[in-house]
């Protein structure tokens, strides 16, 4: 596992941007604190990244969002806030305890009615969605932020469950530079590389990737549009 290190100046700049521009509300702040209080790993997206997800949902006109990896619901709250009142977000979480905390946070944020949490291995949930006649409407926006080993499989499901124009965001694509030296983390880095190469080569996708620095160290995200 790569150790993520953030320089003090990165943290100061991120805090300034969060306070001056992003301005997360009390529900979002509570979601982060609830995760810390429960001993969950502090791996939720940074506030500026969460706000970006919300704005991408809004700018894409998404009405149906799929999230792979819920944790305490921080990113789900951001994205649900970007949905219209009749929009829906389905999020996949492996651990029941994480799902319980997320449900409390979503309800406290006043957007719980928009969000369904599916508990269990995400690949099983995604396969079930494909067979569920009640879920035949494609997703407009997909956020992938789960175990990196399965990134390319999640990406494939995002395409299959989406449609032309669906926006896909893949988080944690730099991984402290391990994409250039996968021996730094031979569990996660190969899965990240596989997904990035798929994004670049698959004719069903048009994609780019951005590297970032901040509280999550040296990392980044990729964004794709289904063709």
User: Residue 2 domain-assigned?
Assistant: no
* Average per-residue pLDDT for the chain: 96
Assess if residue 92 is contained within a domain. yes
Task: Please tell me the predicted confidence (pLDDT) of residue 42.
Answer: 86
Q: What does the pLDDT look like over 39-92, one tens digit per residue?
A: 988 899 999 999 999 999 999 999 999 999 999 999 999 999 999 999 999 999
Number of structural domains (the chain) is 1
pLDDT above 70 covers a percentage of the chain that reads: 100
Q: Which domain holds residue 15?
A: 8-226
CA distances (Å), origin 132, targets 33, 40, 79, 126, 201:
36, 32, 24, 10, 30
Q: Does residue 138 form part of some domain? A: yes
Q: Is the Cβ–Cβ distance between 121 and 96 less than 8 Å? A: no
Instruction: Confirm whether 104 is domain-assigned.
Output: yes
Indicate whether 129 belongs to any domain: yes
Q: Answer yes or no: is pLDDT of 1 > 90.
A: no
Q: Is residue 1 part of a domain?
A: no
H or E element in which residue 196 lies: helix 189-201
List the CATH number of the domain containing 133: 3.40.50.150
pLDDT value of residue 56: 98
Rg (CA), the chain: 17
pLDDT in tens, 2-27: 878 888 999 999 999 999 999 999 99
Residue 76 lies in a domain: yes
pTM confidence score: 0.96
In a domain, 172, yes or no: yes
């Amino acid at each position: 596992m790569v150790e993520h290190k953030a320089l003090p100046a990165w943290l100061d700049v991120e805090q300034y941007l969060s306070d001056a521009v992003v301005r997360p509300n009390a529900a979002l702040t509570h979601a982060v604190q609830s995760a810390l209080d429960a001993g969950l790993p502090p791996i939720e997206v940074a506030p500026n990244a969460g706000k970006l997800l919300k704005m991408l949902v809004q700018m894409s006109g998404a009405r149906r969002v799929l999230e792979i990896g819920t944790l305490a619901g921080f990113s789900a709250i951001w994205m649900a806030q970007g949905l219209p009142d009749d929009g829906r977000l389905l999020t996949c979480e492996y651990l029941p305890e994480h799902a319980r905390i997320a449900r409390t946070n979503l309800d406290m944020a006043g957007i719980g009615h928009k969000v369904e949490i599916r508990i269990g291995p995400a690949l099983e949930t995604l396969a079930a969605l494909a067979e569920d006649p009640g879920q035949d409407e494609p997703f407009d926006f997909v956020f992938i932020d789960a175990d990196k080993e399965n990134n390319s499989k999640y990406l494939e499901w995002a395409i299959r469950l989406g449609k032309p124009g669906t926006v896909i965001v893949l988080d944690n694509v730099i991984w402290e530079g391990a994409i250039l030296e996968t021996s730094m983390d031979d569990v996660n880095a190969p899965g990240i590389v596989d997904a990035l190469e798929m994004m670049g080569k698959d004719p069903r996708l048009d994609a780019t990737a951005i590297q970032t620095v901040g509280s999550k160290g040296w990392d980044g995200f990729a964004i794709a549009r289904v063709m």
